[in-house]
């Protein structure tokens, strides 16, 4: 009986989590649903490319469409950013007439063709645009939200400065044609409730880019989409490969509609070197840069959607791993909406390579299993919201997040702490005397002993019994305390036991090869209660079961 109750509670939280009332709109910096309370909907999407030469969603030669949708759900994502090339909507001969089979054949992709025959035969003879709708419909059946992203004009891998798709006026970016394409797609999906947003254009770039045309055409595009589909979120990107919205600080982006505007950015580790300097310094600098280029928009009352970030899923790319920890800290702190690049384990053809293996893909080459579950587990820490409208389950509290593992500080025993799931996170308060104590049991405070030893919770009789803590280094993520012997120690994690210990503070400056990540802790505001709302890998069987039952049963 008790167990049954437990499972029902889990299911209940899933329903609350995933059955949003559409359409979505914005409430200052949050995206919210249409319920009378306007509950926060956190977009935690994965990108599914459908804009390469074939103009067909990738992977359909490897796995049945519904089984891919199911995998997306089981990995804890709630939405897909589905990319499309403009010509799919504007070139009739291309989208309305050419079938999937013809498109694959034209490109000589015979192996993909036979894979398609085996896995998705009913899609092969559909015109390209119908095949695209089929994908959206499968995602909808699995209760996944969809964001349509106009990724490029001419189907193919994106992007470089001179590919003719970069900015208004380039060979393949005629503004009027673009607006016509946006309108066509917005209309086509106007009554499809799980299509919740449209990214107007991916990664504007190149020599022609300028702010004046940006305001003019982005406004026209935004108004065009809204005029034919007033339900949809209109998602607007900036300049320089979706990194720069800084010009909005001085001159707002004015549109005629309200509560539908979202801004988007991209952030990749390979855009800069994360290895050439002290990592604390790099993370501090890059974070500051993001805030300056786009992060300030949150304070101005707009949602900011990181619609692409990602890392090499083989896990051995030092630059990417460094980036990811820094990214996770900011994403948790600001509780951002995001879309991971990418779902695709492989492409039919990319940059002339047939069956191209995508090492940034969460799925493996055959689209059958997860490429690296360690990395996915880590990212799952930011799949449920920490805070936002309607999520006030407890008073705002501070939890301590460990970005390089995706875990939080939890209780191991009465007086001991370890890393564990953020859903079981202890909440803390930092007093004006810099004493860190438990928010719910204020009589317990954090005490550092010696290098290499566990920190312990102690009874807080007076400050003398507690350590005083402060944030060190340019990343501002190292929590340090000075021991009785005068040693400065930092919170760290014992890699064998996951216990919270103190060790000598690492890499405070200099030394590019020094790695402080295990000592990084981010103090994050959360209103999530404990043991709740956990769209996590190991709960997916329950979720799957729920999907098979009609809603009214529950
Ligand atoms: C959407 O539904 C409404 C009401 O049912 C209908 O009037 C409208 O024509 C539909 N739009 C499209 C594009 O199908
Ligand atoms: C997954 O990533 C982790 C962490 O970066 C790495 O240590 C591991 O070797 C990777 N596993 C696989 C199967 O690639």
Q: What digits encode the pLDDT tens for the residues 293-303?
A: 999 999 999 99
Residues 322 and 193 in one domain: yes
Residue 2 has a pLDDT of 39
Instruction: Give the mean pLDDT of 487-493.
Output: 96
User: In this structure, what CATH number is given to the domain that contains residue 420?
Assistant: 2.80.10.50
Residue 369, in any domain of the structure:
yes
Name the most confidently modeled range: 15-29, 76-90, 437-451, 515-529: 76-90
Residue of 375, 407, 515 with the most ligand 2 atoms within 8 Å of its CB, for mutation: 375
> Which residues constitute the domain of residue 257?
2-380
Q: How far is the CA of 299 from the centre of ligand 1 (A)?
A: 37
pTM for this predicted structure: 0.92
Q: For residue 468, what are the contacts with CB-CB under 8 A and spacing of at least 6?
A: 433, 434, 435, 481, 482
Q: Which atom of ligand 1 is nearest to the CA of 187?
A: 13
- Token look-up 């005068």 returns 486
Residue 312 lies in a domain: yes
Provide the pLDDT for residue 485: 87
Q: List residues bridging with 152 in a β-sheet.
A: 85
pLDDT at 86 over 60: yes
Q: What is the mean pLDDT of residues 422-445?
A: 90
Confidence of residue 12 (pLDDT cuts 50, 70, 90): very low
Q: Please count the structural domains in the chain.
A: 2
CA proximity to 233, closest of 21, 26, 20: 26
The residue to mutate among 23, 190, 192, having the most atoms of ligand 1 within 8 angstroms of its beta carbon, is 190
Write down the residue that tokens 């009465």 correspond to. Answer: 414
Report, as an integer, the average pLDDT of 277-282.
Answer: 98
Q: Note whether residue 387 is domain-resident.
A: no
pLDDT greater than 90 at residue 15 = no
Report the percent of the chain where pLDDT is more than 90. Answer: 84
Q: Is the shortest distance between the CB of 228 and ligand 1 below 6 Å? A: no
Distance CA 537, CA 534 (A): 9
Grade residue 548 by pLDDT with cuts at 50, 70 and 90: very low
In this structure, are 313 and 433 located in the same domain?
no
Q: Which residues of 5-41 are buried (b: 16+ CB within 10 A; e: fewer)?
A: eeeeebbebbeebbebebbbbbbebbbbbeeeebbbb
Q: Over the chain, what is the mean pLDDT? A: 91
What would the two tokens of residue 216 be? 């003019």
Q: What is the pLDDT of residues 99-126, one digit of tens each?
A: 999 999 999 999 999 999 999 999 999 9
Same domain? 357 vs 410: no
Residue 321 near ligand 2, beta carbon < 6 Å: yes
**Has residue 394 got a pLDDT over 80?**
no
Which tokens is 282 given?
Answer: 């790099």
Distance CA 491, CA 22 (A): 44
Domain match, 220 and 155 both = yes
Average pLDDT over residues 340-366: 98
* The predicted structure's pLDDT at residue 96: 77
The answer to whether residues 430 and 399 touch, using CB atoms and an 8 Å cutoff, is: no
Interatomic CA distance for residues 274 and 283, integer angstroms: 8
Looking at per-residue pLDDT, the higher value among 396 and 337 belongs to: 337
**Residue 344 falls within a domain, yes or no?**
yes
110 domain residue, yes or no: yes
Do residue 408 and residue 496 come from a single domain?
A: yes
Does residue 539 share a domain with residue 413?
A: yes
Instruction: List the CATH number of the domain containing 354.
Output: 3.20.20.80
Residue 432 has pLDDT above 60, yes or no: yes
| 375 and 420 both lie in a single domain | no
Q: Is the CB of 375 under 6 A from ligand 2?
A: yes
> How far, in Å, CA of 487 to CA of 505, rounded?
10
Q: Which ligand is nearest to the CA of 321?
A: 2
Are residue 267 and residue 410 in the same domain, yes or no? no
Q: Does residue 530 fall inside a structural domain?
A: yes
The domain boundary residue, chosen from 380, 407, 430: 380
Query: Mean pLDDT, to the nearest integer, of 55-71?
Result: 98
So what's the pLDDT on residue 138?
98
Query: Is residue 425's pLDDT more than 60?
Result: yes
Cα distance between residue 500 and residue 494, in whole Å: 6
- The reply to whether 424 falls in a domain is yes
Ligand 2 center–CA 310 separation, angstroms: 14
> How far does residue 273's CA lie from ligand 2's centre (Å)?
21
Q: Tell me if residue 247 falls in helix, strand or coil.
A: helix
> Are 494 and 447 members of one domain?
yes
378 CA to centre of ligand 2 in angstroms: 11
Report which bound ligand comes closest to the CA of 195: 1
554: pLDDT confidence band, cut at 50, 70 and 90? very low
Which pLDDT band, with edges at 50, 70 and 90, does 28 fall under? very high
The reply to whether 339 and 401 lie within a common domain is no
Helix (H, G, I), strand (E, B) or coil at 328: helix
The finding on whether 187 has its CB within 6 A of some atom of ligand 1 is: yes
- Of all ligands present, the nearest one to the C-alpha of 314 is 2
* pLDDT score for 200: 98
In this structure, of 190-199, 245-254, 482-491, the range with the lowest mean pLDDT score is 482-491
CA angle 528, 80, 225 (to 5 degrees): 105
Domain shared by 276 and 417, yes or no: no
Q: Is 553 inside any structural domain?
A: no
Token digits of residue 93: 């001969």
CA of 319 to the centre of ligand 2 (A): 14
SS3 46: strand
CB 205 within 8 A of CB 240: yes
Would you say the CB of residue 190 lies under 6 angstroms from ligand 1? yes
- Beta strands 195-199 and 233-237, pairing class: parallel
pLDDT of residue 542 exceeding 60, the answer is no
- 372 Cβ below 6 A of ligand 2: yes
Residues 380-394, mean pLDDT to the nearest whole number: 88
Instruction: Name which residue sits closest to atom 4 of ligand 1, judged by CA.
Output: 191
Residue 79 has what pLDDT? 98
Q: Choose the final residue of a domain: 380, 412, 442.
A: 380
Tens digit of each residue's pLDDT (9 = 90 or more) over 126-146: 999 999 999 999 999 999 999
Mean pLDDT of the 18-34 span: 91
Residue 18 has what pLDDT? Answer: 53
Residue nearest to atom 4 of ligand 2 (CA): 315
Q: Report pLDDT for 36.
A: 83
In order of 59, 120, 421, the CA distances from 102 in angstroms are 17, 15, 49
User: According to the model, what pLDDT value does residue 20 have?
Assistant: 83
pLDDT at 1 over 90: no
| Residue at which a domain ends, from 314, 347, 380 | 380
Both tokens of 347, joined, read 């492409």
Residues 314 and 416 in one domain: no
The pLDDT of residue 14 is 45
């Amino acid at each position: 009986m008790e167990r049954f109750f437990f499972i029902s509670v889990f299911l209940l939280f899933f329903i609350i989590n995933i059955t949003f009332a559409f359409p979505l709109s914005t409430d200052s910096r949050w995206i919210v649903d249409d319920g009378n309370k306007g509950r926060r909907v956190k977009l935690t999407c994965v990108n599914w490319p459908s804009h390469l030469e074939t103009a067909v969603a990738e992977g359909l030669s490897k796995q049945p469409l519904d089984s891919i949708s199911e995998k997306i759900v089981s990995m804890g994502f709630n939405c897909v950013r589905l990319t499309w090339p403009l010509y799919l909507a504007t070139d009739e001969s291309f989208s309305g007439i050419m079938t999937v089979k013809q498109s694959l054949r034209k490109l000589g992709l015979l192996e993909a063709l036979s894979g398609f025959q085996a896995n998705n035969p009913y899609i092969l003879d559909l015109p390209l645009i119908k095949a695209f709708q089929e994908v959206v419909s499968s995602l909808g059946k699995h209760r996944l939200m969809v964001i349509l992203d106009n990724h490029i004009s001419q189907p193919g891998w994106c992007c470089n400065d001179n590919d003719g798709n970069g900015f208004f006026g380039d060979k393949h970016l005629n503004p009027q044609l673009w607006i016509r394409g946006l309108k066509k797609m917005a209309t086509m999906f106007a009554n499809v409730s799980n299509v919740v947003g449209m990214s107007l254009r991916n990664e504007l770039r190149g020599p022609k880019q300028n702010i004046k045309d940006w305001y003019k055409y982005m406004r026209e595009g935004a108004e065009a989409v809204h005029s034919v589909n007033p339900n949809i979120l209109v998602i607007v990107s900036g300049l320089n490969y979706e990194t720069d919205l800084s010009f909005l600080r001085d001159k707002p982006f004015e549109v005629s509609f309200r509560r539908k505007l979202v801004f988007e950015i991209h952030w990749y580790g390979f855009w800069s070197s994360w290895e050439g300097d002290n990592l604390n310094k790099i993370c501090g600098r890059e974070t500051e840069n993001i805030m300056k280029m786009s992060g300030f928009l949150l304070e101005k009352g707009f949602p900011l959607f990181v619609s692409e970030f990602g890392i090499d899923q083989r896990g051995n790319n030092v630059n990417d791993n460094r980036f990811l920890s820094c990214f996770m800290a900011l994403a948790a702190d600001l509780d951002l909406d995001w879309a991971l690049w990418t779902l695709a384990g492989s492409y039919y053809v990319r940059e002339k390579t047939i069956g191209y293996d995508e090492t940034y893909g969460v799925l493996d080459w055959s689209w059958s299993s997860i490429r690296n579950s360690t990395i996915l587990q880590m990212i799952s820490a930011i799949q449920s919201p920490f805070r936002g409208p309607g999520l006030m389950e407890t008073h705002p509290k501070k939890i301590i997040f460990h970005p390089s593992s995706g875990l939080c500080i939890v209780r191991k025993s009465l007086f001991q702490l370890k890393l564990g799931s953020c859903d079981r996170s202890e909440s803390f308060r930092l007093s004006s005397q810099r004493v860190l104590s438990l928010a719910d049991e204020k009589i317990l405070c954090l005490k550092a002993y010696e290098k290499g030893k566990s920190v312990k919770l102690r009874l807080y009789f007076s400050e003398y019994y507690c350590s005083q803590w402060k944030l060190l280094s340019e990343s501002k993520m190292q929590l340090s305390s000075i021991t009785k012997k005068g040693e400065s120690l930092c919170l760290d994690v014992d890699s064998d036991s996951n216990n919270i210990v103190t060790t000598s503070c690492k890499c405070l400056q200099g030394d590019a090869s020094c790695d402080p990540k295990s000592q990084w802790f981010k103090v994050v505001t959360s209103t999530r209660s404990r043991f709740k709302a956990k769209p996590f890998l190991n709960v997916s069987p329950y979720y799957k079961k729920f999907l098979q039952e009609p809603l009214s049963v529950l």
